[in-house]
Amino acid sequence: MRISRHRRYYANRNQVASPGSQYKYNEKILAPEVMVIDADGSNLGAMTKAAAIEVALARELDLVEVFPAAKPPVCKILDYSAFKYQKEKEAKKQKAKQVDVKGIRLSPRIGDHDIEIRIKQAAGFLEEGHKVKLELPLRGRERQFADLARGVINGFVASLNEKIPCKTEGSIEKQDNRLTLIVAKR
């Protein structure tokens, strides 16, 4: 039996590093010379990495590389664990502010009951604060009756607007063989 060596790669591939872990600190800093900023924000100037670490350890803090692209890299003397916690907290706040786009797929031949179910789904998504992307794929002869498909989408939006006030972002777009429209809550 052959053993797959790729499993470990695929298992670790989807793991995302936490925002605080991307910063190098103390001995992990690679640059031989760094620009040092004190905990209160005053500039201590350029010094060797060893000297900067000694200054940070004398104050019982860490030397954290905050801007590695600069020449020499900018490092700040601060408590690394508090800094990491703050960055993770900011990243979590940013993620909470993001608006997801939920998709609902329609058909030119969709039945009334199916439309009612999709309207309930869309209303639920809009109530949660998400946007809804309506997709209507056209197959075969349906492509020649795109105006009927546009009518289905417009009717869906009108019915949805009766249930929950919503607005369309842009107009119905044709991408390849599908019509799309994004709907958001007012």
Kindly tell me if the per-residue pLDDT of 94 is higher than 90: no
Q: Would you call 86 helix, strand, or coil by DSSP?
A: helix
The reply to whether 80 and 153 lie within a common domain is: no
Same domain for 79 and 114, yes or no, is: no
Q: pLDDT category, 77, cuts 50, 70, 90?
A: very high
Task: Give the list of residues 6+ apart from residue 131 with CB closer than 8 angstroms, or none.
Answer: 99, 100, 101, 102, 125, 169, 182, 183, 184
User: Over 70: is that where the pLDDT of 14 sits?
Assistant: no
Same domain, 71 and 138: no
In a shared domain, residues 105 and 133:
yes
Q: Which of 76, 94, 112 is the last residue of a domain?
A: 94
pTM for the predicted model, two decimal places: 0.54
Same domain for 179 and 133: yes
In whole angstroms, how far apart are CA 30 and each of 58, 66, 71, 160?
A: 21, 13, 13, 57
Q: Which residue has the higher pLDDT, 28 or 11?
A: 28
Is residue 70 located within the same domain as residue 21? yes
pLDDT tens for each residue of 27-65: 888 889 999 999 888 898 899 999 999 999 999 999 999
Q: In this prediction, what percent of the chain has a pLDDT beyond 70? A: 89
Dist CA 106 CA 128 (whole Å): 21
Q: Residue 99: its pLDDT value, please?
A: 74
Does residue 5 sit within a domain? no
Task: Kindly state whether residues 105 and 181 are assigned to the same domain.
Answer: yes
Q: Which two tokens stand for residue 52?
A: 């900067």
Of 94, 111, 146, at which residue does a domain stop? 94
Q: C-alpha angle 147/152/155, rounded to 5°? A: 120
Q: Give SS3 for 117.
A: helix
What's the mean pLDDT in 91-117?
Answer: 89
Decide if 7 is inside a domain. Answer: no
For position 138, what pLDDT does the model report?
93
Confidence band, pLDDT 50/70/90 cuts, at residue 139: very high
For the chain, the domain total comes to 2
Mean predicted lDDT score pLDDT of the chain = 87
Q: What is the CATH number of the domain that holds 140?
A: 3.30.110.10
Instruction: Name residues whose C-beta falls within 8 Å of residue 85's C-beta, 6 or more positions apart in sequence.
Output: 20
- Inter-residue contact 134 to 168 (CB < 8 Å): no
Q: Which helix (H) or strand (E) covers residue 52, if one does?
A: helix 49-58
Indicate the residue type of 146: A
Domain of 31: which CATH number?
3.10.20.80
